Structure 1
Amino acid sequence: MPKYKGLFKASEGSIGDVTFAKGKDGYQMREKNEVSAEAIATAPSYQRTRENMAEFSHAGKSGRLLRHALRPLLQNAKDRLVTSRLTQTMRAVIKSDTVNVRGERRVMDGNMNLLNGFDFNVNADLALNLAVAYTSTISRATGTMTFDVPSRVPTDAVKVPLGTTHYQIVCGGVAADFNEETCTTDIKQSAYLPWTTATAPSLSLSVSVPPASTLPLFLVAGLLFYQEVNGVYYALKSATHNALSIVEIDS
């Protein structure tokens, strides 16, 4: 709200189409100068703005495609800023494109490895919550992606939220076409694994996408936690511990 100091003076704010501001020469009034959508779309002076808008839009759509592909896993393993964080990372990928001109740079022509290690839940680092030497592989020829976890003592190797009795290890494979905004997804979950002091056997989860694909391939892995009561497993939707991360990329 404008703050009046004497007749026709204001320290800040607007009244109608007039904006009040205080400069070195005292209070000043100026009429608002609104830029039309047509000017932004056509005027040469807004060329850089149009370029930025086009690439920002592509980054947002690319992030949305990846989130949509992983939606079954993301429901319980994301933070409230994941959309903006993923868009920001996609923008970094776009900026790494050395093929196309400004405004036309694309995710698929950029350095896709900038997405490797992306945590969909910034509060839960998979490498910290699953403290074992897990490995991941992608075979483009067969379309098979594998996440391998060695034997472990769950109470030592798996960091869990209060109330956990069981956990699941999950993985998802995605072949994403960010130009056409289409994707193929496969998701696998382990059985409900008891969180105990007994050594758990090694575990291998495999997912598949079309073989010999020319698209970027993503493998994500994560942890979900449960409390078992009378044979029923209740998900613990803890933003502190549920983890989901990109662990392997073949672009």
Structure 2
Amino acid sequence: MDSGLLRAHGFAREFIVLKSRYLINLPDDLENLALLLTPLSVAEKAHGEAVQILERYNYYCFHNDDSFPPRTLVTGMGPVGIMTAFLLSLYNYRITVFGRRESDDSRSAVFDPLDVEFINTARVPLERLGKAGYHFNHIFETTGDPAYIMRTLPFMGFNAIMVLMGIPENVTEGANLEINGTALFSRMIEGNQMLMGSLKAGRDAFNSSVKHLTELSDLYGKQLSGLITHTFPLEEYHKALALDSREAILPVLDLT
């Protein structure tokens, strides 16, 4: 079990005793995909809270072709970003993914079976996309890059919500940003926009994750299995750290 989050490095516990009522039952046929449950649960919580917040008004205008189905953006291509895109594929969303990978990269190929528009923002400037009219009803931000977040805020449409799901790594170094507060807050207020943070998940989100992981396994079992790219024994942890990020998506350390 992994532990540690706030003001502590992550660490592993080989032995732990938990009362059974705190455990989530997982079907036997999902055993090989169990590691995906945690990033999927993060996506479940973020999506569920976003939907609840958007119930504050009559969000869907069915007479307006541009607002239904909702346009959704996922930024980032780590495990949380990938599983967010897979989760949203089960709903009636028009999904776009912003990443900094080439189209033939192993992470980019993950989205091939999904009806997803992938844009490499390392090659296509965000400013050009803004001028092209890109705007979204939901934005799920998983990069944790403050500068990148500021550059994606203008992609929020009217009545939109952005969920911040990634924690900036260096909170004390290089974290200062200069922003035009007047323009930013005016746009958010006049556009009735919402910015919120979401991290980790509770039991309800994990239960939903089991249900949706079952559905995703039936649809994309081969692709999901491919997300677990490498497995190493614990004593070879250095090999996992040395992996090329273009090829490694979710490396695993085996404690058995």
Normalised by the length of structure 1, the TM-score is 0.25
Larger radius of gyration: 1
Normalized per residue, the structure richer in helix is: 2
Normalized per residue, the structure richer in strand is: 1
Normalised by the length of structure 2, the TM-score is 0.24
